[in-house]
């Protein structure tokens, strides 16, 4: 009710002597008068908010001048006279649209100044508490914002910080010299008679630090401001010095004190005051009169506390007033980087899952590859056994020839030895032929056995021409049986290749047998086997027939497993050939010929390194297949 009475008094005084002012007669200039020293943190925030709000809401360019009266350091009639004369002369030729007075002293100075500059200039005040405003006789064209800074809020804060509070030590300039806080001491005593006020105002900093270091445990400190002679350069620096020595938590009542050692309290917010003041000016520039704009008693106070000080004094947050804001909170890693931790953890889990899946897939593929290669090895052996069945007549013929020679030689030797006069020399010659035929038969059996048994691959330096001749000798009976004319064109100057003789024999055997089968329904039947060296480092083998040929649409599929054009074929022969050739670092392909088809395969001359890399797994699989046989 008291505050409403003050506001009503202001409005009646303002309306009774109103001087109309319109936007057309207001120059776009603002003179800001600040009672304190320049560049304080509090006034800086007020002015910054004031400027940004004013310029953002105005349609006309506005120039802002700022003058610091510095009443904190300089006082007396002489200083007042010099200051008045200086500012009056400085702005005598500069039209001023509005004067903004920050503080009670600045408002008194502004009222006097405008009588010399222009009595019609509206004045807008800020940072004046309701109790002080009631003591001022308002003139026309004056409005502004009042601040409510009830001292009982400082007492509420002290009791929250110190349960069982019995004493409150007031620190800073003498209260009667502080425009905002002149009435604090009397109000504190009137609010709670059980709380003793320890007056430490006006003391030198050295003495003050000693006193605040020895306060009883049931006491709290209330810091106001410090601007006495010999004081620090700013009130915040003074607060830091007091906080450094104090043994009790410190109550403050201004936002800009936070972070300099004050624990907290119901703090006056600087930015909202500047914004509210700027909005009044915008109304003036839009044509309203200061006398018609009511004085605003704004809610510029908010309970705010420093988390670091609360932690130091072990004050639970539950003790604080309702709606309190905690600043400078030091969050733990989870609170500070929650999103980052969640993102990183998710990425790690996804990566771990992906790696696990890849390991599983690699293992599965390796097992499948081993099984596949084992199956290929088994099919390769079956392919050899099938070839052995097909070549039984040839094999029988090859073995019978030396056996027949051995029988004939042995019979001749017997005749020479049974003669009336044994001819030992002729018998020895016949027996030598028997031995040679036996060796030949043994070589044939060993060659056939090596070709068709399941042994581990052994890559050695191999003459590809000799490999071809061995195979052709085995299939000679099949060639004669089917009336196939054999034409060979083998380059005798070919270098050797590094390979497995048995596997390479199987490739040649499969291709030759395929050629014989392809020519069963055609005539003439010609099988041409050729070796050459198309370029350095490569040996090529070509096997051409005059058979029915290959459908061009099947050229890309004939080497795939289980693909066959034969009624009784398994579709594995050519696939096995490709597997063997590729394990030797070579390649195999088929092309249509003038009549029939032609198969080529190439092998590198020096393939030791390639066979160690690409043939190593093949060798291991063949060894595994051999062991399981």
pLDDT of residue 566: 62
**pLDDT score, position 37:** 66
pLDDT in tens, 248-271: 999 999 999 999 999 999 999 999
Q: Report d(CA 139, CA 142) in Å as an integer.
A: 6
Sign of CA pseudo-dihedral 37, 39, 45, 50: positive
The phi, psi pair for 180, rounded to 5°, reads -80, -25
Instruction: For residue 257, give the nearest of 267, 246, 271 by alpha carbon.
Output: 267
The pLDDT of residue 611 is 44
- Give the count of alpha carbons within 13 A of 136, CB side only: 27
d(CA 30, CA 443): 120
Both tokens of 588, joined, read 């195999």
* pLDDT on residue 152: 84
Q: How far apart are CA 99 and CA 269, in angstroms?
A: 22
Reference 81, options 89, 91, 92; nearest CA is: 89
**pLDDT value at residue 60:** 87
pLDDT of residue 533: 93
How confident is the model at residue 624, as a pLDDT?
Answer: 41
296-301-307 Cα angle (round to 5): 165
- If you write DSSP's letter for every residue of 5-32 in order, what string do you get? HHHHHHHHHHHHT-----GGG--SEEEE
pLDDT at 446: 67
Task: Please give the helix or strand (H or E) that residue 130 lies within, else none.
Answer: helix 130-133
pLDDT tens for residues 530-539?
999 998 889 9
Q: Which residues of the chain have pLDDT under 70?
A: 1-24, 37-39, 131-139, 179, 189, 228-233, 372-402, 404-405, 408-409, 437, 440, 443-444, 446-457, 562-572, 606-629
For residues 224 and 232, what is the distance between their CA atoms, to the nearest angstrom? 14
CA distance 279 to 120: 20
């Amino acid at each position: 009710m008291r505050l409403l009475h003050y506001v009503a008094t202001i409005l009646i005084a303002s309306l009774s002597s109103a001087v109309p002012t319109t936007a057309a007669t207001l120059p776009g200039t603002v003179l800001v008068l600040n009672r304190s020293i320049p560049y304080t943190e509090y006034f800086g925030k007020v002015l910054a908010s004031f400027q940004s709000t004013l310029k953002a809401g105005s349609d006309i360019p506005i120039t802002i001048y700022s003058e610091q009266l510095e009443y904190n350091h300089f006082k007396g009639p002489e200083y007042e006279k010099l200051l008045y004369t200086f500012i009056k002369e400085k702005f005598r030729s500069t039209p001023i649209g509005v004067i903004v007075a920050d503080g009670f002293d600045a408002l008194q100075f502004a009222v006097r100044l405008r009588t010399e500059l222009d009595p019609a200039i509206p004045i807008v005040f800020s940072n004046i508490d309701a109790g002080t405003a009631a003591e001022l006789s308002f003139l026309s064209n004056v409005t502004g914002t009042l601040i409510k800074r009830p001292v009982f809020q400082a007492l509420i804060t002290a009791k929250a910080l110190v349960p069982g509070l019995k004493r409150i030590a007031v620190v800073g300039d003498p209260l009667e010299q502080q425009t905002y806080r002149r009435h604090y001491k009397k109000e504190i005593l009137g609010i709670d008679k059980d709380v003793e006020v320890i007056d430490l105002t006006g003391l030198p900093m050295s003495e003050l630090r000693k006193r605040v270091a020895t306060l009883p445990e049931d006491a709290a400190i209330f810091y106001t401001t410090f601007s006495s002679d010999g004081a620090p350069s700013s009130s915040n620096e003074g607060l830091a010095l007091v906080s450094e020595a104090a043994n009790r938590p410190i109550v403050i009542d201004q936002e800009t004190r936070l972070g300099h050692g004050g624990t907290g309290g119901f703090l006056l917010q600087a930015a909202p005051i500047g914004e509210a003041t700027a909005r009044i000016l915008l109304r003036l520039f839009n044509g309203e009169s200061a006398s018609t704009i009511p004085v605003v008693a704004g809610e510029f106070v908010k309970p705010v506390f420093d988390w670091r000080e609360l932690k130091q004094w072990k004050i639970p947050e539950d003790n604080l007033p309702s709606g309190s804001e905690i600043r400078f909170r030091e969050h733990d890693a989870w609170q500070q980087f929650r999103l980052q931790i969640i993102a990183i953890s998710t990425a790690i889990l996804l990566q771990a899952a992906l790696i696990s899946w890849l390991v599983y897939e690699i293992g599965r593929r390796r097992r499948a590859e081993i099984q596949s290669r084992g199956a290929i090895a088994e099919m390769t052996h079956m392919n050899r056994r099938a070839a052995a069945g097909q070549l039984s007549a040839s094999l029988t013929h090859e073995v019978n020839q030396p056996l027949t020679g051995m029988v004939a030689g042995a019979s001749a030797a017997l005749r020479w030895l049974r003669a009336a006069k044994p001819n030992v020399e002729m018998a020895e010659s016949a027996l030598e032929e028997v031995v040679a035929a036996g060796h030949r038969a043994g070589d044939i059996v060993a060659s056939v056995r090596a070709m068709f048994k399941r042994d581990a691959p052994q890559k050695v330096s191999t003459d590809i021409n000799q490999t071809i001749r061995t195979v052709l000798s085995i299939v000679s009976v099949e060639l004669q049986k089917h009336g196939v004319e054999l034409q060979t064109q083998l380059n005798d100057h070919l270098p050797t290749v590094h390979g497995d003789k048995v596997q390479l024999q199987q490739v040649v055997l499969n291709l030759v047998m395929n050629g014989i089968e392809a020519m069963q329904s055609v005539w003439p039947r010609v099988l041409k086997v050729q070796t050459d060296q198309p370029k350095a480092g490569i040996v090529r083998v070509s096997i051409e027939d005059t058979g029915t040929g290959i459908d061009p649409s099947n050229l890309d599929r004939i080497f795939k497993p289980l693909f066959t054009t034969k009624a009784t074929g398994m579709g594995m022969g050519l696939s096995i050939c490709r597997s063997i050739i590729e394990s030797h670092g070579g390649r195999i392909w088929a092309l249509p010929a003038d009549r029939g088809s032609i198969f080529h395969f190439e092998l590198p001359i020096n393939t030791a390194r390639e066979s160690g890399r690409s043939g190593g797994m093949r060798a291991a699989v063949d060894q595994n297949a051999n062991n399981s046989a």
